[in-house]
Amino acid sequence: MPINADLERTIVKCVHTHQHPSRKYGVKFDQQFILDYRLDGKRYRSTLGWESEAIDPNIPNVKWTLAAAEQRLKEYKQNHRWNKANPALPARPVCMKDELRNEKVEALEKQQQLALDKQRNIAFGDYFKNTYVPHQESKGKSSLPRELSLFKNHLKPVIGNYQFDEIRPLHLEKIKKNMKSAEQSPASIKYALALFRQIWNQALIDDVTTLANPSTKVKPPKINNARERFLTLEEEKLLLADLALRSPITHDMAVMSLDTGARWGELAALTWQNLDLDAGTVRFMDTKAGDNRTGYLTSRVKALLEARHTATDSSLVFAGVKSGKIQTEISKDFGKAVKKQGLNNGIVDRRQKITFHSLRHTCASRLVENGIDLYTVGKVLGHRTPGMTARYAHLGPNAVRDAVQTLENNPRNIAK
């Protein structure tokens, strides 16, 4: 890299100047300072600024001079020695090209930080609406309508306009208090807190916030909403007869829930490919417990499914009547049938009221009453833990009595 013919040497070694052909700085032609030097045998050429230019745009009165150029050269050489002594640390600039590269990196990092700051200044309600909801819609989340309602009625009034770094546990306590005052059930309050937790965790993934989830410091209400009511044979007969006239698809879903213990959501998502009518089996996929399980069909369930299979070309067993797509909520016809038959007349405790989930509860109760052990019942229902099935233990007292009776009937247990 030879020195250009139009460069002039200065009294400082390795510092050269280049005169502008026309532009003047005062009475002299403006000149540019250029460094030409070697570091460990490698040659560097650094073009600095003009005499008329400020070294730092933030300090306009400090211009480039021979002394400033010499100082910059010393800094490059010092940086080179420091880089050799600290190879594991970020390198310091040893030429103007390094400085320009660092300026670009710093500018990019600053731009990224500004974008990140803007992203993190978003209000909780705006994030829910513009990011969280579309993400859940893309996953086809069936519980989204319920979440939209909870957010609109309970979360948004308290924290909708707050940014993430402004939200504290006390705001969640206020949500709990407001919902309790509005006579919302403990389950609904717990659901609202769970929704908040999900939104916050998604915001952590999206780098909208780095703060710990405030919900970890808020105790959810204790819930005891286990259904204790189940249908008698007479009540079942009345309900199914009404549903058969009112909504055949709801009737068939009710029968299948009664005989397999399936949840409504499991039935709504059921496809024909997960049914083997010849073998009399059904495979429930991605259940609430987070796994898959196999169920077995009674003769009446098998019969109604065979009839339904010949009458539909949908991949869904219980597709929505109007949409042809997966149902997102239980048909109102079920509630109308329950009301028409008076199954909930005079009942105040919601745990004693008949809902679609009562059909699953009825299935479990009948299994226990017929002497099926709790472990097997848990397998039929797809319970995650034995404790979930233990609630049915009181329905089978004969099993305990019979177990004790074996001690009396065994001669080896009788003292001589």
Same domain, 105 and 130: no
Residue 224 in any domain: the answer is: no
Q: Residue 43's beta-bridge partner residues?
A: 38
For residue 62, the surrounding DSSP H or E stretch is: strand 59-63
The residue among 64, 81, 116 that closes a domain is 116
Tokens of 191: 């659901």
What is the average pLDDT across 59-77?
Answer: 93
For residue 48, the surrounding DSSP H or E stretch is: strand 42-50
What is the average pLDDT across 202-215?
Answer: 90
Residue 344 in any domain: the answer is: yes
Residue with tokens 């919902």: 179
Residue 396 in any domain: the answer is: yes
- For 63, the 3-state DSSP assignment is strand
CATH number at residue 246: 1.10.443.10
Same domain, 394 and 294: yes
| CA 308 to mean position of chain CA atoms | 36
Same domain, 107 and 129: no
Give the model confidence (pLDDT) of 361-405 as tens digits.
Answer: 888 888 888 878 778 887 888 777 776 776 666 565 555 555 555
pLDDT at position 156: 96
Answer whether residue 227 shows pLDDT above 70: no
What is the average pLDDT across 88-102?
Answer: 90
The residue among 94, 116, 138 that closes a domain is 116
Q: How many CB atoms lie within 10 A of CB 43?
A: 9
Answer whether residue 317 shows pLDDT above 80: yes
Same domain, 104 and 129: no
- Model confidence at 416, in pLDDT bands (50, 70, 90)? very low
Same domain, 156 and 196: yes
Percent of the chain topping pLDDT 90: 52
What is the total count of domains within the chain? 3
Phi–psi pair at 207, nearest 5 degrees: 65, 30
DSSP 166: G
The residue among 70, 93, 116 that closes a domain is 116
Same domain, 50 and 136: no
**Hey, what amino acid is at 37?**
Y
DSSP 162: S
Same domain, 209 and 290: no
Dihedral over Cα of 130, 133, 134, 135: its sign: positive
Same domain, 287 and 250: yes
Residue 368 in any domain: the answer is: yes
Residue 408 in any domain: the answer is: no
Q: Which domain holds residue 308?
A: 233-402
pLDDT at position 398: 56
Same domain, 40 and 164: no
User: CA dist 345 to 117, 182, 227, 331, 349, Å?
Assistant: 57, 24, 17, 20, 11
Residue 66 in any domain: the answer is: yes
Residue 90 in any domain: the answer is: yes
Phi–psi pair at 415, nearest 5 degrees: -65, 140
Same domain, 169 and 244: no
Same domain, 34 and 59: yes
Same domain, 254 and 367: yes
Give first-to-last CA distance, the chain, whole Å.
114
- Taking alpha carbons only, the member of 215, 212, 188, 208 closest to residue 125 is 208
- Report the chain's mean pLDDT, rounded to a whole number: 86
Tokens of 87: 């190879």
- Of the listed ranges 108-117, 322-331, 376-385, the least confidently predicted one is 108-117
- Of the listed ranges 45-49, 71-75, 107-111, 296-300, the least confidently predicted one is 107-111
Residue 160 in any domain: the answer is: yes
- For 336, the 3-state DSSP assignment is helix
- For 179, the 3-state DSSP assignment is helix
Q: DSSP letters of 217-246?
A: GSPPPP----------HHHHHHHHHHHHHH
